[in-house]
Amino acid sequence: MSADGRPRLGIGMVGHSFMGAAHSQAWRTAPRFFDLPLETEMTAVAGRTAESAQVAADRLGWLGSEASWKDLVARDDVDLVDICTPGDTHAEIAIAALEAGKHVLCEKPLANSVAEATQMADAADAAAERGVLAMVGFTYRRVPAIQLARRLVEEGRIGTVRHVRAQYLQDWLTDEESPLTWRLDKARAGSGALGDIGAHVIDLAQFVTGEQITGVSGMLETFVAERPLAESSAGLSAVAGSGRGPVTVDDAAAFLARMSGGGIAVFEATRFAAGRKNAIRLEINGSRGSVAFDFEDMNVLHLYDADEDAETAGFRRIVVTEPGHPYLAHWWPAGHGLGYEHAFTHQVVDLVGAVATGVPPAPSFRDGLAVQKVLAAVEESAADGSTWRGV
Ligand code: SOE
């Protein structure tokens, strides 16, 4: 119990690379900018070795460290497990933590297969009956401009959704000599751009429209089949004597989809869009207007209202930094924008609020399973001449 009487919530995090650093920033920052109903404590971080875990604990602000996720989950002072590891470990860690009575936050995509994601969703449903909650980390839902887009669509401001145009464009693999990493290994990552960043835009399309993807026709491409091995390639297979290893996932994905409301959608996910660094682009065209968003200009939402006078109609550029916009009252004055890391803080705020009230948070593991089914349908379609696959 804190000095002001709030119950304690001990956090344990598994993994401490890019996502571990982003989640640690969120756990450090949330209590300093938001009035959390629980007193969160950054209790411990687990890594592959005792040394690497302790170095991460010191650097990222965790009180303790563990050399294994199992030891972290077993700690009586850990109430919530935050999973920031490659996808091949999500199911085992999340199910063990839920069964141990720990709340779970799991990075996206939920798992590397529909089978694993189904097991996780079932475990989360069973745990919820015991008051143990689970969330999957589709953080871009918590960008204020995305929240505004969802509200406008929900309010009918753009009418019936006719088109969804969703892209997630990065270019960090454009260089053919970039080294092999776990994200390029199917056994570790499950898929490449499709599951890593395609999952985000699939979730965003469903979140903003409030609709589901009902079927897809897709294609996948691996542009570079082998890459140099480096320190970051530890544990990955090599082509004998070549100093290089095989890329066993897609470099890029493109797929068409139908939406449950009758609209049609076009998706792209690639790590080869030279010049596009983290461009999540979502445009939704409706019968009465459009909304458009680009994460590389993340504090802005563009709105087109077809009911406006034709001579003055046009996309309006809304700077989503007013105190009345979601989360913004806790940050800076209007016009002082937010960054990539703020959505992770919002994710922590909403998860802690859910734990305090016992109300299951969104996105749930069921939401994560829904995305996983779309990913699998795209892979099946691409493997079968882009034939149509229902979801
Ligand atoms: C790599 O593509 C990555 O780190 C994704 O895994 C994250 O989900 C995304 O937010 C940034 O890019």
CATH number (domain holding residue 324):
3.30.360.10
| Rounded CA separation 128/362 (Å) | 13
Residue 373 domain-assigned? Answer: yes
Ligand 1 geometric centre to CA of 134 (Å): 21
Check residue 237 and give its pLDDT. Answer: 83
Q: What pLDDT shows up at residue 81? A: 99
Final residue in a domain of this structure, among 94, 120, 139: 139
- 191 shares a domain with 107: no
> Are residues 242 and 258 located together in one domain of the fold?
yes
Residue 89 lies in a domain: yes
Domain ranges, residue 44: 8-139
- The per-residue pLDDT for range 287-329, each reduced to its tens digit, is 999 999 999 999 999 999 999 999 999 999 999 999 999 999 9
User: Quick check: bond before 109 cis, omega within 30?
Assistant: yes
**Residue 293 shares a structural domain with residue 328:** yes
CATH of the domain at 41: 3.40.50.720
- Reported as a single tens digit per residue, the pLDDT across 208-238 is 999 999 999 999 999 999 999 988 888 888 8
* Cα of 295 from ligand 1 centre, angstroms: 12
107 lines ligand 1 (CB under 6 A): no
39 and 163 share one domain: no
Integer Cα distance of 37 and 216 in angstroms: 42
242 domain residue, yes or no: yes
What pLDDT sits at residue 4? 82
Number of structural domains found in the chain: 2
- Report pLDDT for 232: 80
Pocket test for ligand 1, best of 140, 197, 278, 371 (most atoms within 8 A of CB): 197
* Best CA proximity match to 334, nearest among 304, 365, 300, 370: 300
**389 located within any domain:** no
What are the residue ranges of helices labelled H in the chain? Answer: 18-33, 50-60, 69-74, 90-99, 114-128, 144-154, 186-189, 193, 199-209, 342-357, 365-383
User: Residue 303 and residue 74: Cα distance in Å, rounded?
Assistant: 49
Q: Is residue 3 part of a domain?
A: no
391 found inside a domain: no
| Residues 201 and 151 occupy one common structural domain | yes
Strand order in the sheet with 300-305: 316-319, 300-305, 289-294, 279-286, 161-169, 264-270, 252-259, 213-221, 389-390
* Judgement on whether residues 67 and 129 belong to the same structural domain of the protein: yes
Segments of the chain scoring below 70 in pLDDT: none
Asked if residue 354 is part of any domain, the answer here is yes
Same domain as 166, residue 51: no
Pick the last residue of a domain from 107, 139, 171.
139
Task: Tell me, yes or no, whether 20 and 65 share the same domain.
Answer: yes
Instruction: Give the distance (Å) from ligand 1 centre to CA of residue 111.
Output: 15
- Distance in Å, CA 88 to ligand 1 centroid: 16
How far is ligand 1, taken at its centre, from the CA of residue 84, in Å? 12
In angstroms, the CA 71 to CA 259 distance is 44
- Per-residue pLDDT at 104: 99
Q: What spacing in Å lies between the alpha carbon of 273 and ligand 1's midpoint?
A: 15
pLDDT of residue 236: 84
Confidence at residue 233, expressed as pLDDT on a 0 to 100 scale: 80
197 lines ligand 1 (CB under 6 A): yes
Please indicate, yes or no, whether residues 155 and 214 belong to a single structural domain of this protein. Answer: yes
Cβ(184) to ligand 1 under 6 A? Answer: no
> Where in 271-354 does DSSP place strands (E)?
279-286, 289-294, 300-305, 316-319
Distance CA 310, CA 304 (A): 11
- In this prediction, residue 1 carries a pLDDT of 75
Closest CA to 203 of 377, 374, 390, 371: 371
Q: Is 2 a member of any domain? A: no
251 lines ligand 1 (CB under 6 A): no
All residues at 6 or more sequence positions from 189 whose CB lies less than 8 Å from its CB, including other chains: 86, 87, 88, 112, 182, 183, 195, 196, 249
CA distance 41 to 27: 8
Where does a domain end: 118, 139, 160?
139
Cα 291 to chain centroid distance, Å, stands at 21
Cα(268)–Cα(254) distance, integer angstroms: 4
For residues 223 and 131, membership in a common domain is answered with: no
Atom of ligand 1 nearest to the CA of 19: 4
Nearest atom in ligand 1 to the alpha carbon of residue 22 is 10
Domain check: are 128 and 156 in the same one? no
Q: Could you tell me if the CB of 196 is within 6 A of ligand 1?
A: yes
Most ligand 1 atoms within 8 A of CB, residue of 196, 201, 278, 341 to mutate = 196
Per-residue DSSP letters for 74-88?
Answer: H-TT--EEEE-S-GG
CB atoms within 10 A of CB 294: 19
Residue in 18, 108, 170, 171 to alter for ligand 1 test, most ligand atoms within 8 A of Cβ: 18
The protein residue whose alpha carbon is closest to atom 9 in ligand 1 is 197
Whether the CB-CB separation of 256 and 204 falls below 8 Å is answered with no
For residues 18 and 106, state if they share a domain: yes
